[in-house]
Amino acid sequence: MPAVVLVGAQWGDEGKGKATDLLGRRVDYVVKFNGGNNAGHTVVIEQADGSTEKYALHLLPSGILTPSCTPVIGNGVVVDLEVLFREIDGLNARGVDTSKLIVSADAHIITPYNRVLDKVTERFLGARKIGTTGRGIGPTYADKMSRTGIRVQDLFDRHILEQKVEAALLFKNQVLAKIYNRRAISVAEVVEELESYAARLAPMVRDTSLVLQEALDRGETVLLEAGQATLLDVDFGTYPFVTSSNATAGGACTGSGIPPTRVARVIAILKAYTTRVGEGPFPTELFDANGEFLRKVGTEYGTTTGRPRRCGWMDVVIGRYATRINGVTDFVVTKLDVLTGLEEVPICVAYDVDGVRHNEMPVNQSDFHHAQPIYETMPGWWEDITGCRTFEELPTNAQAYVLRVEELIGARVSAIGVGPGRDAIIVRHDLLGED
């Protein structure tokens, strides 16, 4: 089976973790290919006794919860080692086997000085802040692009590690001391902290691109799991209010070492409404009771930050954009159950920008910032859908809503999330099959 890519179609928090977990039972490798611990996946697993266990994953791929699956942190990820081991220890304490995790030798490490720089820079921006989580993600990617970063493989050569840290701090300490009035960070302090993780990390480190290529050659299935989402992509998102990496299908190839010719399917996750955390334009954002309803019923608070998510109606302009940018073959619509109880459910089908209708994403960000949603309204439903397991079991109005979204986004809706549980999903088309 060739590789399969899983991406978010909005601004993140669409439910990629649940989809990955669902697919993880049928794939051999799950690869995180971008981002770091600045985003999170929440996975709810039903236990044998009927109770549920909730897992909040930040850096680890969601496939780590599936015993038969090998989780991989790819070269495109930036790794905070403290967070990595804290997350591993937390899962181990709950009985989850994490021993199969492998980490790319080429992945970049989030250093203590980059965490500091991220926080002070954001504060310095004041009203022009971009909404960073302050976890050092952006500065680490900046170091990567400027070729001054620290990679996982550098941990195992003290001489190289010291040289690289010293070179980085020559400039960064000047910035910290003279611009931000912060104390300089010592080279020894950084090296000591990073080296403290080396022995534990060493057994996990591999040439992951080779591991994955060999797996594909054996006919095994590799799932490439995005952090963040299409509208947060550094190239194709709502720049500058984006993440610092490529969260699209193209990023899956560069972030894993798997060539595009090995990718068979691109699955995009689309929440039945829209949410966003952080700054930046959001055409369908609601500031009324409907927005609060979506936030409350959908439990829309950031997995990593805990921040209340901004909520709005479904935006199929964004959906079509995600289809185009990623080459989406299948959509998974999540959290359809949250819309239960609404008399009407609007769908944003186009934008009005200064009196001009835009059926597709405006070219420039200024127009997108001023975009007013043009809605098409669908009738709502009141029936509880959390127990539905076939499309035909859904209320007629819920079916009509899904079919209209499918028509407008330009790719088929192959699965529908109808509740928080691991099995609360309707499968219309096999995500890994040929139908």
Would you call 13 a catalytic residue per the annotation? Answer: yes
Question: At CA 39, angle to CA 37 and CA 40, rounded to 5?
Answer: 100
- DSSP class of residue 287 equals -
Distances in whole angstroms, Cα of residue 44 to Cα of each of 284, 301, 388: 28, 15, 18
Residues 6+ apart with CB under 8 A from 49: none
Distances in whole angstroms, Cα of residue 393 to Cα of each of 246, 365, 387, 424: 38, 42, 9, 13
Candidates 21, 28, 41, 108; catalytic one? 41
Distances in whole angstroms, Cα of residue 275 to Cα of each of 10, 18, 193, 271, 335: 8, 17, 37, 8, 12
Number of neighbouring beta carbons within 10 Å of residue 88:
19
Candidates 13, 21, 28, 315; catalytic one? 13
- The CA radius of gyration of the chain, in Å to the nearest whole number, is 22
Collapsed DSSP state (helix, strand, coil) of residue 377:
strand
How far apart are the C-alpha atoms of 340 and 332, rounded to whole Å?
Answer: 18
How far apart are the C-alpha atoms of 363 and 319, rounded to whole Å?
Answer: 16
| Paired residues of 412 in beta bridges | 330
Catalytic residue list: 13, 41
